[in-house]
Amino acid sequence: MRIGMGYDVHKLVEGRKLIIGGVDIPYEKGLLGHSDADVLLHAIMDALLGAAGLDDIGKHFPDTDERYRGVSSLKLLANVGHLLKENGFEIGNIDATVIAQRPKMRPYIDTMRQNVARVLEISVEDINIKATTEEGLGFTGEELGISAQAICLLK
């Protein structure tokens, strides 16, 4: 068994969609990034790749590669899932946290879990996603950005 940890952060800006966990969340700002900037899926991918010893998403999907401009992170997650299978790994579980002052994530968490389970072809019961604020502190508390952390177990 192997454990992996992932972290991602993106700046909130006007003129972008807010996509977290593959869910388009209605909000006045979105996350800035080369792809869709889905912090949750990026943290999950880095946890999975790290546990498998397969580097990180920057190596597999560099932001200098135009093929990944605006790409859905669900597609990138599917690629990571295939890499894990090719290397003989099975996902035991994933636990992740989204850190954002606003908007509230609770209404979207079940759909996020379903998206991750569907793409990785695992049971939704093997995925836990939570959300928290930072009580107005730091860049997430001041609504300058959103971050996510993830940990996983691979067999």
57 is in an annotated binding site: yes
55 is in an annotated binding site: no
10 is in an annotated binding site: yes
42 is in an annotated binding site: yes
63 is in an annotated binding site: yes
- 8 Å CB contact between 145 and 27: no
58 is in an annotated binding site: yes
Rounded to 5 degrees, what are φ and ψ at 6?
A: -135, 150
38 is in an annotated binding site: no
Q: For residues 91 and 121, what is the distance between their CA atoms, to the nearest angstrom?
A: 10
65 is in an annotated binding site: yes
56 is in an annotated binding site: yes
82 is in an annotated binding site: no
60 is in an annotated binding site: no
- 8 Å CB contact between 83 and 53: no
35 is in an annotated binding site: yes
61 is in an annotated binding site: yes
Q: Which residues of 25-37 are buried (b: 16+ CB within 10 A; e: fewer)?
A: bebebbbebebbb
Binding-site residues sit at 8-10, 34-35, 42, 56-58, 61-65, 132-135, 139
Binding-site residues for a divalent metal cation sit at 8, 10, 42
